[in-house]
Structure formats: structure tokens, C-alpha cells
Amino acid sequence: MSCDEWSGLLAQYRNSVRAYSEAVAGLSEVPATMFGASWQLAERARKEADASRARLLHHEHDHGCQTGDVNPQAVAGPFQESEELILGDQGQSGG
């Protein structure tokens, strides 16, 4: 059975990563006089993505979510578990 809270945390994480990606992509388009402010916005977005990831992993650890039971196409495309989505090819393991 999937966990609604986990699904919500995953959606928040995906949105925060998307916002960070867009902020970084926008750095190449800003005039030099506005680069510092744009950099700070990107840094805030990065910190929020980090915090969202930490909340998701914390919930998985504390709640013992069975993320493999979630329909992967509904929440994460081709990924089977959030750890694979989050860690990618970093080769890290949560357990």
C-alpha cells in the first residue's frame, strides 16, 4: 500500500528540484549587473531542494514506507524507488 504522505513529499521534492534547475538555467540569461541576485535565488532553490530531499528520506526512514508498492509511472517515471530517483548514479545506498 502506498503512503499518501510519501507521495506528497516526493511531489514537493520534484517541484523543488525543477525550480532549482530552472534557476540555474536562467543564470546564463541574466545581465552581469543582476547575476549576484540571480545566483542568490538559485542558492535558495538549491537549499530548498536539499531540504525537500531530507524530509523525504527522513519520512521513509521513520515511517518505513514501502515505496516499491507505489506505481512508479504515477510518481517518478521509470524509477522504482525514491532512493534511485534521489541518488541517481551516485552509488550510495540508504540501507
User: Over the stretch 26-39, which tens digit does the pLDDT of each residue have?
Assistant: 999 999 999 999 99
pLDDT band at 45 (very low <50, low <70, confident <90, very high): very high
Which pLDDT value is given to residue 64?
A: 79
| Rounded distance between C-alpha atoms, residue 51 and residue 39, angstroms | 18
pTM (two decimals)? 0.66
Q: Are 1 and 23 in contact (CB under 8 A)?
A: no
| Rounded distance between C-alpha atoms, residue 29 and residue 17, angstroms | 19
54: pLDDT strictly greater than 80: yes
| Rounded distance between C-alpha atoms, residue 24 and residue 46, angstroms | 9
Burial of 65: CB neighbours in 10 Å, binned 0-12, 13-18, 19+: buried
Which pLDDT value is given to residue 71?
A: 53
Residues 54-74 have a mean pLDDT of: 73
Distances (CA, A) of 63 to 31, 53, 85: 46, 15, 19
51: pLDDT strictly greater than 50: yes
Q: Are 17 and 49 in contact (CB under 8 A)?
A: yes
Amino acid letter at 32? A
pLDDT band at 19 (very low <50, low <70, confident <90, very high): very high
